[in-house]
Structure 1
Amino acid sequence: MDNSPVRITSQELLSDNWYLLKKYSFDLRRRDGSWQAQTREVYDRGNGATILLYNTQQRTVLLIRQFRMPTFVNGHDGYLIEAAAGLLDNASPEERIRLEAEEETGYRIGHVEKIYSAFMSPGSVTERIHFFIGEYQPGDRVSEGGGLAEEGEDIDVLELGFDEAIAMVARGEIVDGKTIMLLQYLELRLLKATLAGR
């Protein structure tokens, strides 16, 4: 017997222009045991990966700036400062994030460390993002970066002091969720290392 608290009763494809937008009708078993009919639209764009590149000795991070239309139509100037990221497109998270880091920042990174994965907008988007950090050295730069023009990317590469990046979060200059999470993770990690060294 199926004990699932969800019974999908129908699904309708609303758009496949860019990725998949579907309308699901389903019955959800509530905590009191009763069933309630509900409808939700779900956007499926695949899963992704993101990485914060940092240099311990210089106390710097590598971030990028690029235009994001959804933020523009929601009252922002559209240019977000972010950690390098990309959709998996059938690659493993580690393989994809190495490629994206090089395409976007111009740095070829050796060791990368996965720290966690998270759903970023679970009320409407299926995407799960795999989060990585990786240490870079100045000699790791192999190109100017900037992304792929054929994909509409026109990316500025920013090397920022770590403390300045954290201050930019506080000032509302860095507003991308994945980037804030990565910077705060690194801040906690550095703080823990500092305390352990005392």
Structure 2
Amino acid sequence: MNETAERVRIVDVEVLSDDWYVLKKTTFDFQRADGTWQRQSRETYDRGNGATLLLYDPDRRTVVLTRQFRLPVFVNGHDGMLIEAPAGLLEAASPEMRIRAEVEEETGYRVHDVRKVFEAYMSPGSVTEKLYFFVAQYDPASKVSRGGGVAGEGEDIEVLEYPIADALAMVRRGEIVDGKTIMLLQYAALELFAR
């Protein structure tokens, strides 16, 4: 059993929104390290768990990324056109199965051997989502369609290919600002393309 479970007493859960995903306000008592109990309340946004993957070609030293419009970053001062590693919500599928399908939908590349490299909570102060991070090799022959996402889901995705050195330079210049993508590119620099 989780040791922390004995230190948390849920008092009330209120659903604030159940439109796109579920936003809840939870009131709870938390037992502090000194043994005293403190009443707190937090909002959590539950959108389910997801998976992301970096396509890499070790021979040509390239990676495949995508660019698409993201409203949340747009309203926070970015132009909204975010460069990212392909990703998607699990929607009751296993992380491995979901990321294979998502990569093909978004990039047009069919991958078979995906390798999980780690898991991470991306915004644990308010979002429940855990991401499963994968890598997979690709080559020009593994391109089976144009990609671009599913128009019916509002996706209009541009497929990009960069030398790994250029992608890392784009992180340094602030052109790639997506957290999951930066994590995967740094992993690639340390593990996949290390000389």
TM-score of Structure 1 vs Structure 2, range by shorter chain: over 0.9
Matched residue, 1:15: 17
The answer for unaligned runs of 5 or more in structure 2 is none
Asked if 1:149 is matched to 2:154, the reply is: no
Post-superposition offset of 1:111: 0.5
Alignment gaps of 5+ in structure 1: none
Instruction: Find the residue that maps to 1:178 and give its secondary structure.
Output: helix
- Which of 72, 80, 83 aligns to 2:82? It is 80
Structure-1 separation of matches of 2:69 and 2:185: 20
Give per-residue Cα distances to partners, 1:96-121, cap 9 Å, x unaligned: 00000000000001101000110000
Residues paired across the two proteins, number: 192
Cα distance in structure 1, aligned partners of 2:193 and 2:182: 16
Runs (4 or more) in structure 1 with deviation over 2 Å come to none
Instruction: Tell me by how many angstroms 1:190 deviates.
Output: 3.7
8 Å Cα contact 2:111-2:138 kept in structure 1: yes
Alignment correspondent of 1:53 = 55
1:119 counterpart residue number? 121
**Aligned-pair identity (%):** 64
Aligned to 2:141: 139
> Partners of 1:95 and 1:30 in 2: how far apart?
41
SS of the residue aligned with 1:4? helix
Q: Hey, what's the Cα distance between the residues in 1 that align with 2:156 and 2:72?
A: 16
| Alpha-carbon separation, structure 2, partners of 1:12 and 1:33 | 27
1:161-196 Cα shifts (integer Å, max 9, x gaps): 11000000000000000000000001001465x2xx
SS at match of 2:106: helix
Partner SS state of residue 6, structure 2: coil
**Alpha-carbon distance in 1 for matches of 2:19, 2:131:** 22
Question: Aligned-pair RMSD on alpha carbons?
Answer: 1.1
1:109 equivalent in structure 2:
111
Give the AA of the match of 1:17: D
Question: Please, what TM-score do these two structures have when normalized by structure 1?
Answer: 0.95
